[in-house]
Amino acid sequence: MEGYEVIFAGSNFIRLLSGLWVTVRISLISIGFSLIFGFIVGIAMTGRSPLIKALCRVYLEIVRMIPQLVWLFIMYFGVTRMTGLNLSGEAASVIVFTIWGAAETADLVRSAFQSVPVHQFESGRALGLSQFQLYFFVILPQAVKNLFPNIINLATRMIKTTALISLIGVTEVLKVGKQVIDANRYDAPDAALWVYGAIFLMYFAVCFPLSLLSRRLTERKE
């Protein structure tokens, strides 16, 4: 059997796709949680309390400074051992990517809110809007326009980073690829070239449309 035939032999292609779906699903769940927590932290960062600002800053810097793979290890091997919790690889990944994604989202939200001119805040207050009304009806609609392309960019980054979860034992596309290669070790010795090439293109097929969308939105804004 030729190497490239392995990709489509039997149910291999479906298995690779379902492996890819594991990655995408974990990213989607993490992105959802990140948006929720990121917005809360981001709005807190635009507030007036210097203590909260400082705490958020420290959280952001620590999360960003240490590589995501190290965080995955800390969550999957370290925290589980220290607390006696039994976390699956997928749960550990979702927690890590949410903590990281929320930090990144918060920073994007902060800069988007700060890009709204001060007179918008002042006009809102002058009209007698409450804090909630001010943020919800005046600031948020303007901030979201700046925010959207950046959030999509972040989503692409998160999908790419999710490729790391095979290293803490989650059966995603790279792991499935390895299984396929190992199963065909004798029939198709050069399968690794084709299978890893296919996975490379699969990631590209997921991330490229998102990158394009983000670029279009940025261009339209300008």
Partner 1 sequence: MDWSFMTEYAPLFAESARITVMIGGIGTLLALVTGLICAWIMYFRIPLLRQIAAVYTELSRNTPLIVQLFFLYFGLPKAGVVLSSELCGIIGLTFLGGSYMAESFYAALKTVSVSQIESAESLGLSRYQTMRYTVIPQAARAAVPPLCANVIFLLKETSVFSAVSLADLMFTAKDLIGMYYNTTEILIMLAAFYLLILLPVSVLFSLLERRMNRGRI
- Residue ranges that bind partner 1, judged by CB under 8 A: 3, 65-70, 73-74, 77-78, 81-82, 156, 160-161, 163-164, 166-167, 174, 177, 181, 189-197, 199-200, 203-204, 207-208, 211
Helix (H) / strand (E) element for 85: namely: none
Minimum distance, C-beta of residue 148 to partner 1, in the bound complex (Å)? 19
Minimum distance, C-beta of residue 68 to partner 1, in the bound complex (Å)? 8
Cβ closest to partner 1, residue 137 vs residue 200: 200
Q: For residue 169, give the amino acid letter.
A: G
Q: Could you tell me the two tokens for 86?
A: 């039994």
Residue 138 near residue 207, CB atoms below 8 Å: no
- Could you give the residue ranges of the DSSP H alpha helices within 115-139? 118-126, 131-133
Cβ closest to partner 1, residue 82 vs residue 118: 82
Cβ closest to partner 1, residue 43 vs residue 167: 167
Minimum distance, C-beta of residue 63 to partner 1, in the bound complex (Å)? 12
| Cα 150 to Cα 112: distance, rounded to the nearest angstrom | 10
Cβ closest to partner 1, residue 51 vs residue 82: 82
Neighbouring residues of 28: CB distance < 8 A, sequence distance ≥ 6: none
